[in-house]
A and B are shown apart, each in its own frame.
Chain A
């Protein structure tokens, strides 16, 4: 079967005499990888880079005539990030957390991340305007302001992190469950989640709301995850997803404390199997030294207290917070090993591969360079058994994982790492190889007719770690793990067109700006010219 590429797009046919031919016989051809959640740019990522020179010393990349120098390991510098994704056959990466006040910073870093197309999600779950309008029941007003914010920050989707909890963290507090009211604002996380879910529908955003649940990382929090998914059940329209729970592993703990902590994956999988309005991504742990960084200020503080590791906190006025703590996941730790089983259980127990995607919440559960390892665990029970044999005995005994036989096929891997994520994000020209798609193609040197991934999992790891060819917009950019051409990707953002007058929103923002923020109104929005390759996606809102 032949695949034809012309002018950066996949087409029905080309003039074979003039075309360059790539012989991919005996290899697997997939669309370029689409990563739905990976922290690669912005103030919290950069604070992580600053915090960890020791992480960089052991992993350097020298300058070549085609590439810039840089450093790894868990928080790589921007050029290195782009090159490493390209080498694995990834062509689109979503940066999942952007404090709106510092949007400029995120876009500056994304512009310095070569090779991949990218987008970023502004953090809106604790934004004072959202809290106030939702509390007052002014849903349309809220939608208009959210639309303004998405345009001002050049964002792609509405992100919620521990909704309500970050505002409470402004004074050092947190929320305990989705019905615990936010201090000073008289609104509950449930109301915030439902409100923004409705706003997302009103604005016709390409992606659903992207939610990092309350109580992340707390034993027993699988109940919070279930409640979060349930609380928007009656808002669904047809079979389309309306909420995405991200890095679900961290929200799937059973038990009441660290001693009794266990896996809640089975209950969550059962719910997801029976409902069509939810999608998840794994947040898979790999046993290594990495760096945790999220907007969940209170959770990161707890992690600092648990581990004793150095801790960076950065609260952003009016909007959100963030925290960074280095962290090492150990095989012999009962809790870490259980976390490791949870991610895999979620992926293997949820039947429909279009509902659960492969991520590590880079770098929180592991650096993105570990994806090939995770692919091999999903495809090979043998690979899992080998890994399970090395973890904490107590975790092994209590886990469901050893009894699970299911192994992912190459098709399911393609869905989990590209087709499914692209569909969930509403990126219609990504994640498939049909005519009209962007010519983002990854060719892996693995012959499915000769290699049984269930047995030869090391070959799977090797192949997915270094693509034979990575093609971006129709050009070969990587070959056998080497960058052969340096390119700059596009930055996607959503241009929401309101039906009613949008200058009313602008004047409302102008009036209130000085009260809420310490920057001037004119200096807040990111102008389109700031993005090297701006790629807006227009949507027409219902309001």
Chain B
């Protein structure tokens, strides 16, 4: 660090590095209020007052975001939502919400990431591309990590890689010398049985296309789009020793599936990571149902665990805090004075598409960039308050913009890792003057809302 500016990073992944080094570009420093159609600078007091007015006057406001801020801020957010009788929702609703719905039906056999580092010898990534979305996952926690009972598979991968490269070079050299195309019999290790025959850690990637994570895997299984459900159920049948009447499922030959099922049953401890590839395709939560059930059934034969690959910084923390304070993980509606939960009805996407919300508070999130067009149109047609350190697309359309401090850089807090382990976030630099932490901003708005309601009560 130099002069309160971060200059370099150790130990971070590519996304983290980009975040820490660039956070001060494209950020807000002053509060803004829309007057006569234009956003103009205002004092923090004015911005807080205007926000409180909007929220106190609304009959069905939505409070959305929450995944990129601390648990402490989320606690204040819940109190605010309860006070104004609004609907509070977090980014799970467009990400792993369906996984939560499935878990509520079936349960989930899971663990903390260290258990996998120590014990897992079979790792499956399904509909998830950790290389892109969770860049350090594989070397910190899974295939390339070293545990008490399992060594790293890194050397094995390197030797496979050098063997493949050597072969490519030889082929090219041969074709140059002999001046014709050389053909080689198809790879023997195309079959899962050979690819996965080793005793050490093995990684399988299942996806609709050959992602970068698939390149690192011992075996890549290509599934047709929207056919994950069939494939999962087929594997479920095979591990229960049932026969499949067809020759292929979802584009995969059944004898390949039988070998995969054998590998799954034969492992010491296996883990299935799944991503939004399952929650967002056709079938949504039903795909996750199948995955959770497959792993649950596998526990009759061996030890097997499953984990959703959650992104979005502190979305796990948002779900966790919502659940302990209200009993429900997201899409919580306080309009009746007590928490109600019915995704599909009380979730923010549906409320916006039905045009029922009459105000919005967005905290540390950018729905204008990430929501489908119809939802965005409804969101911007109502009074909109944004609390965010970034210049986001949503803040460009807001009526009140309040700049905040970056959690984990300029202010401390607690966040939860994807496996529910709580971690403290530190303050590394001072925030710019005028950029308060979310907790402070929200508490001030809450106090002002209560003041307005008291005054209204007295007036009547």
Do chains A and B directly touch (beta carbons under 8 Å) in the complex? Answer: yes
The reply on B421 being an interface residue by CB < 8 A is: yes
Of the candidates A60, A101, A171, which one forms a contact with B338 in the assembled complex, judged by CB atoms under 8 Å apart?
A60
A72-89 near B? 1/0 per residue, CB < 8 Å: 000111110000000000
* A residues in contact with B421, CB < 8 Å: 101-102, 518-519
Interface residues of B in 159-193 (CB under 8 A from A): none
Task: Please report the C-alpha to C-alpha distance between residue A71 and residue B420 in the assembled complex, in whole angstroms.
Answer: 22
Q: Which partner residue on chain A sits nearest B306 by CB separation?
A: A313
Q: Which partner residue on chain A sits nearest B268 by CB separation?
A: A171
Of the candidates B115, B320, B338, which one forms a contact with A46 in the assembled complex, judged by CB atoms under 8 Å apart?
B320
A367 to chain B, nearest CB (A): 14
A523 to chain B, nearest CB (A): 5
Q: Is the CB of A46 within 8 A of B118?
A: no
* B residues in contact with A46, CB < 8 Å: 320, 323-324
Segment at the interface with A among B58-66, B102-110, B357-365, B430-438? B102-110
The reply on B119 being an interface residue by CB < 8 A is: yes
Q: Is the CB of B118 within 8 A of A317?
A: yes
* B residues in contact with A316, CB < 8 Å: 111-112, 115
Q: Which partner residue on chain B sits nearest A75 by CB separation?
A: B327
* A residues in contact with B324, CB < 8 Å: 41, 45-46, 49, 77-78, 108-109, 112
The reply on A421 being an interface residue by CB < 8 A is: no
Q: Is the CB of B325 within 8 A of A102?
A: no
B237-276 near A? 1/0 per residue, CB < 8 Å: 0000000000000000000000000000000110000000
Segment at the interface with B among A61-69, A247-255, A265-273, A479-487? A61-69
Of the candidates B104, B149, B320, which one forms a contact with A105 in the assembled complex, judged by CB atoms under 8 Å apart?
B320
* A residues in contact with B96, CB < 8 Å: none
Interface residues of A in 35-55 (CB under 8 A from B): 41, 43, 45-46, 49-53
Of the candidates A56, A301, A317, which one forms a contact with B117 in the assembled complex, judged by CB atoms under 8 Å apart?
A317
The reply on A411 being an interface residue by CB < 8 A is: no
Q: Which partner residue on chain B sits nearest A321 by CB separation?
A: B111
Q: Which partner residue on chain B sits nearest A99 by CB separation?
A: B112
Interface residues of A in 171-214 (CB under 8 A from B): 171-172, 184
Task: Please report the C-alpha to C-alpha distance between residue A33 and residue B334 in the assembled complex, in whole angstroms.
Answer: 32
The reply on B68 being an interface residue by CB < 8 A is: no
Q: Is the CB of B327 within 8 A of A77?
A: yes
Main secondary structure of the interface of A (DSSP, over half): mixed
Q: Is the CB of B338 within 8 A of A62?
A: yes
Task: Please report the C-alpha to C-alpha distance between residue A43 and residue B420 in the assembled complex, in whole angstroms.
Answer: 8
A501-530 near B? 1/0 per residue, CB < 8 Å: 000000000000001111100010000000
Q: Is the CB of A523 within 8 A of B269?
A: no
The reply on A276 being an interface residue by CB < 8 A is: no
* A residues in contact with B100, CB < 8 Å: 50
A104-117 near B? 1/0 per residue, CB < 8 Å: 11001100100000
Of the candidates B112, B337, B338, which one forms a contact with A315 in the assembled complex, judged by CB atoms under 8 Å apart?
B112
B334-350 near A? 1/0 per residue, CB < 8 Å: 10111101000000000
Q: Is the CB of A317 within 8 A of B422?
A: no
Interface residues of B in 85-123 (CB under 8 A from A): 100, 103-115, 117-119
Q: Is the CB of A62 within 8 A of B337?
A: yes
A468 to chain B, nearest CB (A): 27
Segment at the interface with A among B218-226, B295-303, B395-403? B295-303
Q: Is the CB of B299 within 8 A of A79?
A: no
Task: Please report the C-alpha to C-alpha distance between residue A41 and residue B320 in the assembled complex, in whole angstroms.
Answer: 12
Knowing A102-B421, A170-B115, A518-B140 touch, does A315 contact B305 (C-beta < 8 A)? yes
Q: Is the CB of B326 within 8 A of A53?
A: no
Interface residues of B in 112-162 (CB under 8 A from A): 112-115, 117-119, 140-141, 148-149
Q: Is the CB of A172 within 8 A of B302?
A: yes
The reply on A459 being an interface residue by CB < 8 A is: no
Interface residues of B in 395-431 (CB under 8 A from A): 414, 416, 420-424
B328 to chain A, nearest CB (A): 6
Q: Is the CB of B113 within 8 A of A317?
A: yes
Q: Is the CB of A311 within 8 A of B107?
A: yes
Q: Is the CB of A518 within 8 A of B106?
A: no
The reply on A314 being an interface residue by CB < 8 A is: yes
B11 to chain A, nearest CB (A): 10
Q: Is the CB of A69 within 8 A of B115?
A: no
The reply on B30 being an interface residue by CB < 8 A is: no
Task: Please report the C-alpha to C-alpha distance between residue A304 and residue B292 in the assembled complex, in whole angstroms.
Answer: 14
The reply on A285 being an interface residue by CB < 8 A is: no
Q: Is the CB of A53 within 8 A of B328?
A: yes
Q: Is the CB of B103 within 8 A of A78?
A: no
Interface residues of B in 370-391 (CB under 8 A from A): none
* A residues in contact with B111, CB < 8 Å: 313-317, 321
Task: Please report the C-alpha to C-alpha distance between residue A463 and residue B106 in the assembled complex, in whole angstroms.
Answer: 40
The reply on A536 being an interface residue by CB < 8 A is: no
Knowing A77-B325, A112-B325, A310-B105 touch, does A172 contact B303 (C-beta < 8 A)? yes
The reply on B329 being an interface residue by CB < 8 A is: yes
The reply on A312 being an interface residue by CB < 8 A is: yes
Q: Is the CB of B422 within 8 A of A314?
A: no
* A residues in contact with B38, CB < 8 Å: none
The reply on B75 being an interface residue by CB < 8 A is: yes
The reply on B228 being an interface residue by CB < 8 A is: no
Q: Is the CB of B414 within 8 A of A50?
A: no
Task: Please report the C-alpha to C-alpha distance between residue A53 and residue B48 in the assembled complex, in whole angstroms.
Answer: 35
* A residues in contact with B278, CB < 8 Å: none
Task: Please report the C-alpha to C-alpha distance between residue A41 and residue B108 in the assembled complex, in whole angstroms.
Answer: 20
> Could you say which of A49, A321, A517 has the most chain B C-beta atoms within 10 Å of its C-beta?
A49
Q: Is the CB of B338 within 8 A of A53?
A: no
Q: Is the CB of B107 within 8 A of A314?
A: no
Q: Is the CB of B338 within 8 A of A79?
A: no
Q: Is the CB of B108 within 8 A of A104?
A: no
B46 to chain A, nearest CB (A): 29
* B residues in contact with A45, CB < 8 Å: 324
The reply on A70 being an interface residue by CB < 8 A is: yes
* B residues in contact with A101, CB < 8 Å: 112, 114, 421
Task: Please report the C-alpha to C-alpha distance between residue A515 and residue B319 in the assembled complex, in whole angstroms.
Answer: 30
> Could you say which of A56, A75, A109, A313 has the most chain B C-beta atoms within 10 Å of its C-beta?
A313
* A residues in contact with B110, CB < 8 Å: 312-315
Q: Is the CB of B336 within 8 A of A53?
A: no
Of the candidates B148, B296, B328, B338, which one forms a contact with A311 in the assembled complex, judged by CB atoms under 8 Å apart?
B296
* A residues in contact with B303, CB < 8 Å: 170-172
* B residues in contact with A286, CB < 8 Å: none
Other than the known A108-B321, A518-B141, A523-B423, what 9 A-B pairs have Cβ atoms closer than 8 Å? A43-B420, A46-B324, A60-B338, A68-B82, A77-B324, A77-B326, A112-B325, A172-B303, A318-B114
Q: Name 18 A/B residue pairs within 8 A (Cβ), A-sorted.
A: A46-B323, A50-B104, A50-B329, A56-B328, A60-B338, A71-B326, A104-B414, A104-B423, A105-B422, A109-B324, A170-B115, A170-B269, A170-B303, A312-B107, A313-B107, A316-B111, A316-B115, A523-B423
